[in-house]
Every structure is written in C-alpha cells, then in structure tokens.
Amino acid sequence: MEFTEAYKQTGPCCFSPNARFIAVAVDYRLVIRDTLSFKVVQLFSCLDKISYIEWALDSEYILCGLYKRPMIQAWSLTQPEWTCKIDDGPAGIAYARWSPDSRHILTTSDFQLRLTVWSLVNTACVHVQWPKHASKGVSFTQDGKFAAICTRRDCKDYVNLLSCNSWEIMGVFAVDTLDLADIEWSPDDSAVVIWDSPLEYKVLIYSPDGRCLFKYQAYESGLGVKSVSWSPCGQFLAVGSYDQMLRVLNHLTWKTFAEFMHLSTVRGPCAAAVFKEVDEPLLLDMSDLCLSDDFIHNNHDNASEGHFRVRYEVMELPITLPFQKPPADKPNPKQGIGLMSWSSDSQYICTRNDSMPTALWIWDICHLELAAILVQKDPIRAAAWDPTCTRLVLCTGSPHLYMWTPSGAYCVNVPLQQYTIADLKWNSDGSCLLLKDKESFCCAAVPALPESSDEYGSDE
C-alpha cells in the first residue's frame, strides 16, 4: 500500500460520490482536493467553522453546515462564483441533507419544529411540520422519486410520503410505534422498515401505501433494537439487539432464518478463524525478519524506543474474548450490536458487540456460520467494506490499519510519524482509503486483491 503525506483537517472529510475529489474542512475553509494528485482544485471560505459536510449525489455541489450560527452554505465546483446561503431565522438549523436530485436541500430546525425543502432552482421552499428527528427519520427511495419523512403529532408517530419531483405529500399513515427510532427504504423500494426505541422491541415492515406487512418482536422484556440494516441485494434484513444477538430476516416471508450469538467464550467445533493482534518487538530476531530496507529504516528509531510491529496470530479454540459488563446504574449501556455492516455482495456481515469492543465478528450469510473473529488490542473505532470486493478494513485509534478477506487477515503500518487512525472511509471505486487522525488525514492507495492468498499477514 502507498500512503500520501498528512494534510491538515479540523472537521469532516469525505470523498465525492464520483470518486474524483476530497472535501476537507479546515476551520472556516472548505478545501477541495483531487484524489489522484491531491492538489487543491477549489478553496471556499465559509462564514464560520464548518461542522458538517455533504456532497450532492452528482458531485457538482457540496453543502457545509455551520451549526454554531446556525447556517448552511452550499458551493458549486463547476461554477466557483455561485454560492448559496440558507438561514432559517429563529427556527435555527439542526441538520441538513441533499435530496437525490442534487438540486434541493432539506434542513431540520431546532427542536424538530419543521423540516424545510429548499430549491436551488427556483428558490422555493416547502415545509413539513413536526419531523420526528433532526438527523434521522428521513429516507429516500433508490430511484430518488420518493421520500419517507417521519413526523410526530398528538403523541403519535406518522410517515409522510413525499414526491421528490413536486415535494407534494402523496400520503400519510400512522405507524404502530411508541417512540419511532428510524426508517429506511428497502433496496428495491417495495417497502420501508421502521423500528421502535430501545425501550420497546419492535420492527415493522410497511408498504408505501401504509399497509403493515409484518411486525417482528424477538422478545418483550429488556432493551430492544440497537441497529438495523438492509443487505445491498435487498433479500435480508439484519437486526442487532441489546441482547447481544444478530437476527437476519428473509424479505419474502419476513421470518427469522438466522440468529447469531456473540458469546464471550467461543468453543469448537467452529469453522471460523480467530485472528488476535499481537506485538512483536522490532529488535528481536531482526535477522530472521524479511523486512524491506525502507521498513527497517522507517521503524529503526521506533524500535530503539521499545516500539513494536504488530501482526495477527491465529488462535486455537476455545478462546475467551475480553468482556466488559456494563454498569447497571448508568444510562446508555455499552452492550448489544452497535456496529453492523454488510459486504457489497451481501455474503458477509460484520458486527461488534459493544460489551466486547475489541472483537469484530464476521458472519457468512451463505453458509449461516461464523467466518472469522478479529481480536484487537484496542476498541474498534470503525470498520468498512470495500465497495468493489470482499475486503474489510478497520481501525482502533492505533498507527495500524487492519484488513480481512476470506483468505486471511493482515496488519498494515502507517508510515507517518505519530499518526493514529481514528476513522476511515472508502472511495466509491475502492481504489483509495481516507484515514483520519485527530488533526490531519492521509490517503492510502489500495491494490487490487490477489486471486488467492494463504498468508495471515503482518506489516506491509
């Protein structure tokens, strides 16, 4: 892997949907860099520090949330002289997002008083009263024709179906929730899934005309749903719960066809490979290590200070994973499936049980079995699948990048001084990774996967 130098950032950083640009917040400046040369192609000055960035789907426009003001500013890459400023007056702005047509911006006011659709074409605006959430509760169909917006009035949750062409309300229906948590369209746009707050285990499938197709409740007592995600193919719906289980529903019958438990002790027989991150002192058996001259040169100073290289060691079963029992007297307990992500081919799904924050579980949906467990030294900050192939990348706030493929797992050292990876994002074409530190970011060019590999790796 090849890494760029570190560039300054003070806030959000993200690739454009067409994979050509990187938008970076540096205080009140919005810096647009080319993803190949990393040269600055545009520089925009905002009126305050940038809190949030989002690209339009056509990669031509970009909005910046200045939530301290509060205000939204939007810019055009093809027309640098064009600018847009949105100020909702006393109502304020808590969140903003693009519509699928890249010509409308949706803002949610403080205290969820209203959601406003602002047009960049004719400066018209449409209001939807009492949105349920600021940053959640809004979902668009894959074809970009309709929006489902959750609202609440008279202590009851509703779904408003809007046309993204005219922004007229096409229908409104009440939903059977006590406190709606979020909504998401299915990948084929045939249904929406709605789930309740953690206090009530309830997952509901509705048709666009408001018919309840299925109601799913795994249990009644205890905290309920923590995360929900459709598979990219649309055939599976994964539900992560506070009871530390992952349940997968079939889209034809809406019945549970797989239940995966996250046990603190994993016993055989089990087909999964367990990879544990271990330290290896750089000065031990240096003559036996097959390291490049560049690697030895870059890490010799660290070795003299007692630093280590890391690698994965394949563990034998049974194995006991580090487990943290959440305190019973504190809110928001760290337990349940807090991280959940599907591979692009829908064959694998990775999960993190928050009471075992250093372990990442990878499940094989085709064979309904555990494929691998990655046991890290530090809690897992982020994990993301390659959008083009079956490759998973994760970070833990360490100077290392960790990767898994069906053929093995390996660790990659970031060759930058005192650089730790707090977050990561893939480019849409899978060629590049954006790696964020606290006050800087770098990018890594990711080589294509070899056809087969039998090595469980170390630093590269």
pLDDT digits (tens, 9 = 90+) for 235-257: 999 999 999 999 999 999 999 99
pLDDT of amino acid 451: 60
- The pLDDT of residue 389 is 95
Enter the DSSP assignment of 298: H
The dihedral sign for the CA sequence 95, 100, 102, 106:
negative
pLDDT 10s digits, 383-435 = 999 999 999 999 999 999 999 999 999 999 999 999 999 999 999 999 999 99
pLDDT in tens, 191-230: 999 999 999 999 999 999 999 999 999 999 889 999 999 9
Read off the pLDDT of residues 73-102 as tens digits, 9 standing for 90 and up. Answer: 999 999 999 999 999 888 899 999 999 999
**Residue 292: per-residue pLDDT:** 46
DSSP run (H or E) holding 35 = none
Residue 109 has pLDDT above 90, yes or no: yes
* Contacts (Cβ under 8 Å, ≥6 apart) of 281: 303, 306, 308
Q: Is the pLDDT of residue 22 over 50?
A: yes
Question: Which domains are delineated in the chain?
Answer: 104-217 (2.130.10.10)
With tokens 């406003």, the residue in question is 116
Mean pLDDT of 342-355: 97
Joined tokens for residue 172: 């409104």
pLDDT of residue 87: 93
Q: Which of 277, 275, 241, 276 lies closest to 261 in space, CA to CA? A: 241
Reported confidence tier of residue 457, pLDDT bands at 50, 70, 90: low
**pLDDT higher than threshold 50 for residue 301:** no
Q: Which two tokens stand for residue 15?
A: 């690739």
Residue 225 backbone phi and psi in degrees, to 5: -80, 135
- pTM equals 0.90
